[in-house]
Chains A and B, each alone.
Chain A
């Protein structure tokens, strides 16, 4: 037990220590907390959700969009876990833990956004099994609660068990560890699938109500997630001693291209299916793409997203671009933003325009909402920075139990 406490203490004391650059980075992120705290007070305490841009017509918006998008980022850890453990792709050795830390962070951010989404966060306990009412299996939301919490636990077990064993210099219990690894691989698919089901089972929202949604969710997630991991890896490579081979980044950029291609194909299928017959059920997509009846706030967002996705895809098809590690992160960031717009903003909001009674209205986020979203993201980036820093310390052997020094144990 004592060594476990030591591990946690050593992990976080290493993670929180750094140079001027590190503190500047954390300092910049913490600046977002001030408007975030103001916005949170206004929404959570003083006035309620009325401070955000919601209406009865558009009752889900950016909080829900970010929740959906981040579930995808969380699921994307599987793009490094799967090749490493199933295909024994050794170059990903130092990447797996980073992926797991990203998954933990993303799920925590998802939970944060859900709290902001709720009208009554004080009644969250109503959803707790046994003391509240957990409407399982009827309500799709309860499935989402199960898969998200399960995924968080799985990643904490896989990531921290692995690191703890490295810390103490003991060998991994293969049976125990690999069981959880394999479960987490399958589980990663469920989280984003169920989140898609949450929306696409609403038959009254035609833009969501199609069976491509889960596949579309997974494909965009497996493009956006590894893109983010690439950015993290390039940054880590530049700023720490951790060795990350080019091949690891190359594999990830290939995964990005593959899934981005699939995502674009699915987008094309959707556009043709909807716009060719152009019934009333395609109004929501038409609103997003072209605007309808003079309402066109979503149009620039949609096209920015399409442009970012198509442009990155074309560029990433070129091997020379994929292997240019100065240009690659820039493409990855724009791609990430493009997919964020698509899933985190356009999909959720456009799905509500028009309303089921055919009423067209538009959505504008308020400043408070923007403060809260930016703050939640800053908190997420901060958590990831700290977790990744700690994990790097473990991988470099800087975070090590005094008794374990000198022991050489082969590790995954």
Chain B
């Protein structure tokens, strides 16, 4: 979508009107949107109330019968199709047999371009603004956490101040700490000299602290190893956000803002379907794609091939070959979370 059109859309929207209201109004302005809206059936108020009522009282997805799952999915498809004025599908594909998904990322190759971040947002229907939600965070790391120029600068200025302890100024650069600036680097071009990049997203831990703390079991591990969330069952207590050592979880503080034109209509119930206000969301290894044998959006978009994805149970898979042959490590191994997201160097 062209930039000026986008800004116009945002202008119409404001911040106070609901998304549904917005699309009704936007439909009146734009002929194309109006045509699309007309093609989908608009339910009478009563039927809509019934749907909302049924959605409110539905069970946790994990415990639904197949019949209930079908009904819940049909309700959502209807609601989303109206809301976004296009045909939206909600998939309910369960985990595949004999599959355990794993991910490997080559930190030697990553150039910090953040194409993965944006491809993820597009694929997974994150809120675009107020608040902007991104599931992948790329950290810009200074090489070895020091700069050569600073090696001998800083505290103590003179031996009298040292209390008998000699430390170079470099010791006051905190190892491994990414400050705000390093989270939000904006270089002219990447990769930068003297920097490397460290993308972080949900690690799909085998021993996930987030699942343990959830008081309503809305977040749980599916048999293919993906930690999923039933957005309709989440109470928004944010215990999981407090417990996650990788800061992988995001919260919909307000109503998500997802323009209809940018909405990806191919969704999964436990994955990229549009979220609502007040719930937690995070990376699901694009399960709407990967449960159909496709790659995740971030793997597909990576221009340097730093990202690899596959079945950990299949010895011939790329990810297994990497685990067999490369120097592999996991982030914060001391937390004992057993991530299925591996970092490696050649």
Contact = CB atoms under 8 A, between A and B. Distances in A.
Contacts of A199: 242
B35 interface: no
Contact of A135 (B183, B217, B278): B217
Interface in B237-260: 237-239, 241-247, 249-255
Contacts of B209: 202-204
B64 interface: no
Contacts of A49: 236, 251, 253-254, 278
A205 B238 CA distance: 14
Interface of B is mostly: loop
B183 A119 contact: no
Interface stretch (A138-146, A167-175, A239-247, A325-333): A138-146
Interface residues of A, number: 50
B131 A118 contact: no
Given A135-B215, A203-B335, A358 B177 contact: yes
Contacts of B217: 133, 135
A119 B242 contact: no
A204 B250 CA distance: 16
B324 interface: no
Interface stretch (A52-60, A71-79, A181-189, A375-383): A52-60
Contacts of B22: none
Contacts of B139: 357
A124 interface: yes
Contacts of A48: 252-255, 277-278
Interface of A is mostly: loop
Interface residues on B, range: 35 or more
Interface in B168-206: 174-180, 183, 200
Interface string B149-178: 000000000000000000000000011111
A17 interface: no
Interface string A345-361: 00000001011111111
Interface in A34-69: 46-52, 54, 56-57, 59-60
Interface string A204-236: 110000000000000000000000000000000
Contact of B216 (A119, A127, A198, A204): A127
Contacts of A133: 60, 63, 216-218, 233
A50 B130 contact: yes
Contacts of B16: 46-47
A361 B180 contact: yes
B137 interface: yes
Nearest to B130: A50
A293 B251 CA distance: 26
A123 interface: yes
A358 B200 CA distance: 12
Contact of B242 (A205, A283, A354, A357): A205
Contact of A145 (B215, B238, B252): B215
Contacts of A141: 213, 215, 237, 239
B214 interface: yes
Contacts of B110: none
Contacts of A124: 235
Given A123-B233, A145-B215, A280 B176 contact: yes
A138 B212 contact: yes
Nearest to B131: A50
13 contacts: A49-B253, A51-B254, A56-B133, A119-B237, A120-B278, A123-B233, A126-B218, A133-B60, A133-B217, A135-B217, A198-B239, A356-B244, A358-B177
Given A47-B16, A204-B245, 4 more contacts: A59-B242, A120-B278, A132-B216, A357-B139
